[in-house]
Amino acid sequence: MGILERIIKSDTSVNSFKKQVRNVLGFSPGKSVLYKTALTHRSVKDGADENNERLEYLGDAILSAIIADFLFKKYPYKDEGFLTEMRSKMVNRNQLNDIAIKMGLKKISYFNKFDSSLKMSQIFGNTLEAIVGAIYLDKGFDKTRTWVMERIIQPYLFMDDLENLEINHKNKLYGWANKKGKNLEFETLDEKIESGRRLFTVGAVVDGELIAQGKAYNKKDASQIAAQLALDKLGLGKVEAEEE
């Protein structure tokens, strides 16, 4: 292949990538390499400058600041505890992962599609945070804030629903156990390395009986998943919680 053919092929590839990004994010990227890195999981690129973990770190901070600013202005008379809880509801892993998938990020992300554990993980929420980091570096803070408002908050985060949403499943399960006089513990059942990351399995144990177990890349998320599954298994739905 000659130099001209390689240039044409390269340009076509870049244009195709930009079109994909524009279709999902709603704008054309200025620095394509930032977005390609943001969409690349460590399961396919291990180098710190090649995968999205550094951009995820940055995007997490930027997104949190934008959400904090939004809540501070929306609820001028609410205290710190309410604002902190609302921010947690808006940026928790499950929430961001769902938004990322609905947005279409899964379709254009680069990850090891043969790794079954990744299909059940929250990597697309992490990718969304990395995208926020990329937009910040590419477009600046003001345009990032506008994009977050128009593409994340307005279409996916409904404040009335979030105000009534209970996300701390462990606290709810502990409350039930205390009321019933039962002993509840969360035990680490397994810990292993998958795709270069430590995967934890945590069980919700009531009076010595394993009720449910959850898997995640940190113990906190794994225990929340286990608690949620235990609540479902025990029939502790929303109606019962409201009656209590």
- Catalytic residue annotation: 60, 129
Taking each helix axis from N to C end, the angle separating 93-103 and 123-139, rounded to the nearest 10 degrees, works out to 70
Structure-block tokens of residue 38? 């943001």
Structure-block tokens of residue 85? 């809880």
CB 87 within 8 A of CB 68: yes
Q: Is 195 left (phi over 0), alpha (psi -120 to 50) or beta?
A: left
Measured between alpha carbons, how far is residue 11 from residues 5, 8, 17, 29 in Å?
Answer: 10, 5, 10, 15
What lies within 8 Å, CB to CB, of 34 at 6+ separation is: 55, 134, 137, 138
